[in-house]
Structure 1
């Protein structure tokens, strides 16, 4: 059956080419039989009808010129950089549990929230089943006993992450920060004044007419939203660079209460961030890694359940955290399905579109009792960067989309090595694929992320060359250990 489907796919994909070959052969045979007299009559026809030369040809030239002048400027990804925290910020599961016990014993004001041992066992079970390894990172302030959750400590974490990623990006690309015309920074739960985008402008002394944007409260899928915004701006403002910075702050957003639905986020989120350099300059095509092909955004926030399934609020004791409702899996599945439905016509080959249409027709018109047809996305993409939001999310997508273990390897290994770094996780996954030497010219990449609101967003890229990892790739120090076997 596998080979039958492969034959069908190749037949449909190359159908027009197969039809073109005999047509060209027939034309060539007829052309070879033309006599000098036929050629003379052909040229005489043009001579007797000057309107062809004076009207049609200029119209073709004008139309071609207008098309090339008005078509959207291509958006190139020159390079990107993921932040690698210093080794002393690493934490294992045992270290986290030990830290919790020390905090409880040393800090009396926490005793009321931590005296119940049942929730300690709950945290351990979540950590052990999360798919997260023992070399992830938490910020400096959370290594203290008790943790320092001040504004100053939160700023220090964010500055370390953002500046670390940007310093490496500028060093690798040799781009002068003052040449940046567009800046987009996204951080969901930490949005101080002045904004994080203003912090970047101040640090690198960016020019005064820069178009800067700060996206807040948009969840783990905000990285793709930032790319989409930068894309739209680059198609309006010609011949410039755009920098997108995606991160999340852990210091000020660690939940210190005993509401179990709010504790889960403490177990999953870790330090991380990424900086991406985009360009619409034609001269940058040869040195760029990827070209942006599509962005598709889906927002189901009009539905109350979707809006509240990941909700920042205070618990009964007045402590702030993000609660995850029991509706989250169903909402995520529905939003993901909607996003895939919008993306599919843009990326799937004709062979899969025809199979989907046949299944849809049989089910709707003839009431056939068959399942909804899930297209084979491996025919549309060579690489998948699924947001490392958690083990359950990756498992579900792997199962429902009929992906192979190697298709989700980058996502699983990113979750294991770095944890959930929110909107930047898809960039750690792309860095993993590059570090493994798997990215070849023409390969297509699907970045897909889900986040509060509720949102699902996709970005599709195509590799312009055989891509090698850039200097200070975050996997440099640990690539030899991966992939690791994870008990499923």
Structure 2
């Protein structure tokens, strides 16, 4: 029996030519390689749509109202009132920005119930708007991620949303807190990782900051700044990894780079929640903040650059670094700053304040018009923390500036200290006439004020 089998195999081997064997093996290797590629390849993440909260006009805080309010409330001495007045007048924040109803009261009512009311008002409104716009059943949401840095209640914010809209019991929900203004991109990063693992899923990301409980009543100037800058707002973002969603999606996520320089003491302490000497709790914004943000951005750029920049730009940067080391040039002298405009059409810089926007424009060698969306967002909505980059993208859409194939760079900064970047590619024709948070006022912008000077 064995002898006959061996003779049969010998006969087959004699009939099969070496060329056939080589072709067969090569084809087999290619098939296996292709199968492995399609199995392990990176899945595309699509941004179907997003919506930003538009507060009612009754919650507006014009400069005169803000000043009158803090004077009447009696929470601050004359020096603190004068300081806040001076900073607010030069902040770049306009008369249309809003604060929650409890902050309008005298004295401000910052209870847990009031904070819940603010959170529910913002998130319930934008979730309902986003889901109804696309006729999405809440039970079809597979992943829910929320971020709110300074308000972390029990039950969590995600539980509040699940209870309100009746999401299903096996939804994967995560609530992020204490992550600062850069948490919006952190939430996108987390949702992206979950979408890479779980197939055919919809993810809902919610970004906001609660203003109600975070007013500072002391005298430290560095802790009075958040009183002036932060305003009411939030954003809801719908993501998917389903191929069929590409035809209705607005953007595709191309790159996401996160940088954390918290091992440096100066960076770690640059944004810090703490009590002052009198026991008043607030968030300190140190004078080193701009320097720290620039350092974090530089580190983030070093990772992002090779992913998006043309090789010619990368080579020029590398050569400038080599020359600096060879000739021992001081500081950053002689270092070529890559021109990201060769790869990116639009920029959404976190609207943390005029100084932050100015500093990032200088660091990236951008023109004033590149920071227009950030400046106008600061003017119209104030610093809405993690959601500010979404108001900026919303501004670009309302202005009709996003074209199919364009790439947008969202840059966010946050306590820790963190710098996070997301690169989105526009994959559809954006209709600027569709209603969003800017629709009622977009014709007023850009403002003819010193905010663009």
TM-score bracket, shorter-length normalisation: over 0.9
Residue 426 (str. 1) matches residue 389 (str. 2): yes
**The 10-residue stretch of structure 1 (370-379 or 473-482) with the greater mean CA deviation from structure 2:** 370-379
Question: Is the 1:172–1:470 contact (alpha carbons within 8 Å) kept by the matching residues of 2?
Answer: no
Task: Give 1:54's aligned residue.
Answer: 24
CA distance in 2, matches of 1:75, 1:308: 35
**1:443-482 superposed matches below 5 A:** 443-469=406-432, 471-482=434-445
**The 10-residue stretch of structure 1 (362-371 or 241-250) with the greater mean CA deviation from structure 2:** 362-371
- Could you list the per-position Cα deviations for residues 316-346 of structure 1 after superposition, in whole angstroms to 9, with x for gaps in the alignment? 2211100122222222221111111111111
Structure 1, gaps ≥5 residues long: 1-45, 105-109
Please state how far the C-alpha of 1:184 moved relative to its aligned partner.
0.6
How many residue pairs get aligned? The number is 434
Question: Is the 2:320–2:336 contact (alpha carbons within 8 Å) kept by the matching residues of 1?
Answer: yes
Question: Is the 2:258–2:419 contact (alpha carbons within 8 Å) kept by the matching residues of 1?
Answer: yes
Task: Give 2:255's aligned residue.
Answer: 294
Task: Give 1:399's aligned residue.
Answer: 362
Please state how far the C-alpha of 1:471 moved relative to its aligned partner.
4.5
Task: Give 1:439's aligned residue.
Answer: 402
CA distance in 1, matches of 2:222, 2:150: 17
**The 10-residue stretch of structure 1 (358-367 or 138-147) with the greater mean CA deviation from structure 2:** 358-367
| Equivalent residue for 2:71, pick from 93, 97, 101 | 101
Question: Is the 1:440–1:467 contact (alpha carbons within 8 Å) kept by the matching residues of 2?
Answer: yes
CA distance in 1, matches of 2:188, 2:430: 20
Question: Is the 1:131–1:486 contact (alpha carbons within 8 Å) kept by the matching residues of 2?
Answer: no
Task: Give 1:408's aligned residue.
Answer: 371
CA distance in 1, matches of 2:134, 2:371: 29
Residue 173 (str. 1) matches residue 143 (str. 2): no
CA distance in 2, matches of 1:463, 1:166: 23
**1:269-284 superposed matches below 5 A:** 269-284=230-245
Question: Is the 2:290–2:359 contact (alpha carbons within 8 Å) kept by the matching residues of 1?
Answer: no
Q: Secondary structure at the match of 1:476?
A: coil
Residue 76 (str. 1) matches residue 54 (str. 2): no
**1:199-348 superposed matches below 5 A:** 199-348=160-309
CA distance in 1, matches of 2:425, 2:145: 22
Q: Secondary structure at the match of 2:197?
A: coil
CA distance in 1, matches of 2:127, 2:189: 20
Question: Is the 1:221–1:423 contact (alpha carbons within 8 Å) kept by the matching residues of 2?
Answer: yes
**1:119-198 superposed matches below 5 A:** 119-198=80-159
Question: Is the 1:172–1:471 contact (alpha carbons within 8 Å) kept by the matching residues of 2?
Answer: no
Structure 2, gaps ≥5 residues long: 1-15
Q: Secondary structure at the match of 1:132?
A: coil
**The 10-residue stretch of structure 1 (201-210 or 216-225) with the greater mean CA deviation from structure 2:** 201-210
Please state how far the C-alpha of 1:58 moved relative to its aligned partner.
2.6
CA distance in 2, matches of 1:459, 1:230: 13
CA distance in 1, matches of 2:216, 2:426: 40
Q: Secondary structure at the match of 2:144?
A: strand
CA distance in 2, matches of 1:257, 1:365: 52
Over the aligned positions, Cα root-mean-square deviation in angstroms equals 1.5
The list of structure 1 runs, each at least 4 consecutive aligned residues, that deviate by more than 6 angstroms after superposition, is none
TM-score by length of 2: 0.93
Task: Give 1:20's aligned residue.
Answer: none
| Equivalent residue for 2:322, pick from 357, 361, 365 | 361
Question: Is the 1:184–1:212 contact (alpha carbons within 8 Å) kept by the matching residues of 2?
Answer: yes
